[in-house]
């Protein structure tokens, strides 16, 4: 079957309620189609899913689909110099991390063909860029990876004469520890890394990382851990009572012991299929990021997301432009577009992560159900037990790398 026909079938199934949004996103990511190919199909099928502006909110600028390369008149802000826009943009993003309609809308409005590739961890992103991938225009590193990339001279300063929508971002999310003047990064989404589990099998009371690291018999071989060294080692450190950025040999040796003892009970290390395994019932507990957890709950309401009592990571992912980006001006225009309140709101509702876009929240673009969900926007008492992953320097990173390889190959 041609990829176009396959996508058409998935979209039909999605709109008729037979295929979840999470599964649709996953499959589109796997197909690795350029956004125009997906976009044309999504645009045809865009009916039931298209959110409308909430009452009292500023409606989105009208976007008449333009022909490829011909932006629709009036829809591009006047401060963007259209003559500087390229015909294409290459976006390197986490999987299942943007509403595909939004890419289509950028493409139709700005006349720029967007191609998106996906990755599963910050370390994969770094390795890919260091391995010589020079074609990407916009990337989405997390907090500590922004620090690492700044120190390695890999990021381009952002042009705020183009990214004027920075004004929509909550001051609380700006000036972060990893880029104090936002010279290189604009916050995209934020979240936490706890675990989800099936209450229909395990009951309502799970609260501790103990369930993951020293599991009861019924969950043995039914645990999925993120395929992410800083997250997994960090969770083990927190369970043991250490700080998440610990690099002492003693703490890392204890984390290693715990993770090696846990390994026979781990079904998989996966950041992309952890949600599928939970929904399919093959896993009963999965270490997971907020949005993936909440999307899974929509398909399987017996799942519940837990921020463990010992704490877990809080993170903020960011829009950045690599120094090597071939289409820098267009990259800035794309980042500006993603921060429009209507766009940021639709995106946050779709992927279900915390949004740093204050204007989107205040103008009513974010669903009340998402805003009120304590898994997405934790209350102050929960914030006290969250920790940020930080750059642990070259020596620390080597220790984490070595430990991770030992765990994965054991
Ligand atoms: N489904 C994609 C989610 C991206 C999450 N990024 C989290 C990084 C945490 N260290």
The percent of residues in the chain predicted with pLDDT above 70, rounded, is 82
- Which residue owns the Cα nearest ligand 1 atom 4? 94
DSSP assignment of 350-369 = HH--B--BHHHHHTT-S-HH
317 lines ligand 1 (CB under 6 A): yes
91 lines ligand 1 (CB under 6 A): no
Mean pLDDT of 7-13: 57
pLDDT tens digits, one per residue of 254-283:
999 999 999 999 999 999 999 999 999 999
- Of 239, 226, 297, the closest CA to residue 268 belongs to 226
94 lines ligand 1 (CB under 6 A): yes
Which residue from 24, 93, 97, 389 has its CB within 8 A of the most atoms of ligand 1, so it is best to mutate? 97
335 to each of 89, 162, 188, 238, 377, how far by Cα in Å?
11, 9, 9, 35, 23
Lookup result for tokens 């039931």: 48
pLDDT of residue 30 exceeding 60, the answer is: no
Mean pLDDT of 125-140: 97
Cα–Cα distance for residue pair 337/343, rounded to 1 Å:
7
Measured in angstroms, how far is the CA atom of residue 242 from the centroid of ligand 1? 23
Q: What pLDDT does residue 316 have?
A: 98
99 lines ligand 1 (CB under 6 A): no
C-alpha of 214 from chain center: 28
Which residue from 94, 192, 230, 275 has its CB within 8 A of the most atoms of ligand 1, so it is best to mutate? 94
Tokens at 410, concatenated: 């054991």
Atom of ligand 1 lying closest to residue 389 CA: 10
Cα–Cα distance for residue pair 138/135, rounded to 1 Å:
10
Q: Which domains does the chain have, with CATH numbers?
A: 1-48 (no CATH), 191-315+379-409 (3.40.190.10)
Cα–Cα distance for residue pair 96/24, rounded to 1 Å:
9
Atom of ligand 1 lying closest to residue 143 CA: 10
CA angle, residues 178, 181, 183, in degrees to nearest 5: 85
* Helix (H), strand (E) counts: the chain: 18, 10
Q: What pLDDT does residue 71 have?
A: 38
96 lines ligand 1 (CB under 6 A): yes
Provide the pLDDT confidence category of residue 374 given band limits of 50, 70 and 90. very high
Q: Helix 341-351 crosses helix 100-110 at what angle (to 10 degrees)?
A: 150
315 lines ligand 1 (CB under 6 A): yes
160 to each of 61, 175, 232, 262, 332, how far by Cα in Å?
21, 14, 36, 47, 8
**Is residue 189 classed exposed, middle or buried when 0-12, 13-18 and 19+ CB atoms within 10 A define those classes?**
buried
pLDDT of residue 34 exceeding 80, the answer is: no
pLDDT of residue 57 exceeding 50, the answer is: no
Can you state the percent helix, strand and coil of the chain, rounding each to 5?
A: 45, 15, 40
289 lines ligand 1 (CB under 6 A): yes
Measured in angstroms, how far is the CA atom of residue 331 from the centroid of ligand 1? 21
144 lines ligand 1 (CB under 6 A): no
Measured in angstroms, how far is the CA atom of residue 94 from the centroid of ligand 1? 7
Cα–Cα distance for residue pair 36/45, rounded to 1 Å:
14
142 lines ligand 1 (CB under 6 A): yes
Contact call for residues 55 and 37 (beta carbons, < 8 A): no
Q: What pLDDT does residue 33 have?
A: 54
Mean pLDDT of 67-88: 75
Mean pLDDT of 125-130: 98
Measured in angstroms, how far is the CA atom of residue 67 from the centroid of ligand 1? 34
Atom of ligand 1 lying closest to residue 193 CA: 9
Which residue from 91, 100, 142, 376 has its CB within 8 A of the most atoms of ligand 1, so it is best to mutate? 142
Q: Which residue has the higher pLDDT, 102 or 42?
A: 102
Query: How large is the C-alpha radius of gyration of the chain?
Result: 21
Q: What pLDDT does residue 257 have?
A: 98
182 lines ligand 1 (CB under 6 A): no
Q: What is the pTM of this model?
A: 0.85
- Of 112, 133, 225, 167, the closest CA to residue 344 belongs to 167
Q: Three-class SS of residue 327?
A: coil
Mean pLDDT of 154-169: 98
Measured in angstroms, how far is the CA atom of residue 187 from the centroid of ligand 1? 13
355 lines ligand 1 (CB under 6 A): no
Q: What pLDDT does residue 13 have?
A: 57
pLDDT tens digits, one per residue of 195-226:
999 999 999 999 999 999 999 999 999 999 99
Provide the pLDDT confidence category of residue 366 given band limits of 50, 70 and 90. very high
pLDDT of residue 35 exceeding 50, the answer is: yes
Provide the pLDDT confidence category of residue 64 given band limits of 50, 70 and 90. very low
pLDDT tens digits, one per residue of 320-363:
999 999 999 999 999 999 999 999 999 999 999 999 999 999 99
Q: How is residue 130 annotated by DSSP?
A: H
- Of 362, 291, 271, the closest CA to residue 99 belongs to 291
């Amino acid at each position: 079957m041609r990829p176009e026909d396959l996508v058409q079938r998935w979209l039909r199934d999605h709109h008729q309620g037979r295929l979840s949004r999470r599964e649709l996103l996953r499959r589109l990511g796997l197909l690795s189609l350029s956004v125009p190919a997906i976009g044309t199909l999504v645009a045809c099928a865009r009916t039931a899913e298209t959110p409308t502006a909430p009452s009292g909110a500023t409606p989105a600028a009208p976007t008449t689909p333009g022909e490829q390369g011909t932006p629709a008149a009036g829809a591009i802000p006047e401060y963007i110099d259209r003559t500087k826009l390229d015909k294409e943009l290459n976006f390197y993003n986490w999987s299942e991390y943007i509403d595909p309609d939004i890419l289509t809308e950028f493409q139709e409005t700005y006349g720029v063909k967007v191609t998106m590739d996906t990755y599963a961890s910050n370390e994969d992103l770094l390795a890919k860029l260091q391995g010589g991938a020079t074609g990407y225009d916009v990337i989405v590193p997390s907090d500590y990876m922004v620090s690492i990339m700044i120190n390695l001279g890999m990021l381009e300063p952002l042009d705020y004469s183009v990214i004027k929508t920075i004004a929509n971002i909550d001051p609380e999310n700006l000036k972060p520890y990893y880029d104090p003047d936002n010279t290189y990064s604009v916050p995209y989404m934020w979240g936490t890394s706890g675990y989800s589990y099936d209450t229909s099998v395990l009951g309502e009371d799970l609260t501790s990382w103990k369930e993951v690291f020293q599991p009861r018999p019924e969950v043995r071989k039914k645990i999925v851990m993120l395929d992410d060294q800083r997250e997994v080692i960090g969770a083990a450190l927190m369970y043991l009572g250490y700080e998440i950025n610990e690099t002492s040999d003693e703490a890392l040796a204890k984390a290693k012991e715990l993770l090696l003892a846990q390994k026979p009970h781990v079904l998989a290390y996966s950041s992309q299929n952890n949600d599928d395994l939970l929904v399919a019932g093959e896993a009963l507990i999965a270490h997971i990021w907020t949005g993936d957890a909440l999307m899974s709950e929509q398909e399987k309401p017996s799942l519940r997301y837990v921020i463990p009592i010992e704490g877990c990571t809080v993170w903020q992912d960011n829009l950045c432009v690599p120094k090597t980006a071939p289409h820098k001006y267009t990259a800035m225009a794309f980042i500006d577009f993603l921060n429009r309140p209507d766009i940021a709101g639709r995106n946050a509702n779709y992927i279900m992560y915390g949004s740093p876009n204050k204007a989107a929240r205040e103008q009513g673009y974010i669903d009340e159900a998402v805003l009120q969900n304590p898994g997405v926007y934790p209350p102050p008492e929960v914030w006290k037990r969250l920790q940020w992953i930080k750059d642990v320097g070259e020596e620390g990173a080597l220790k984490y790398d070595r430990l991770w390889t030992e765990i994965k190959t054991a």
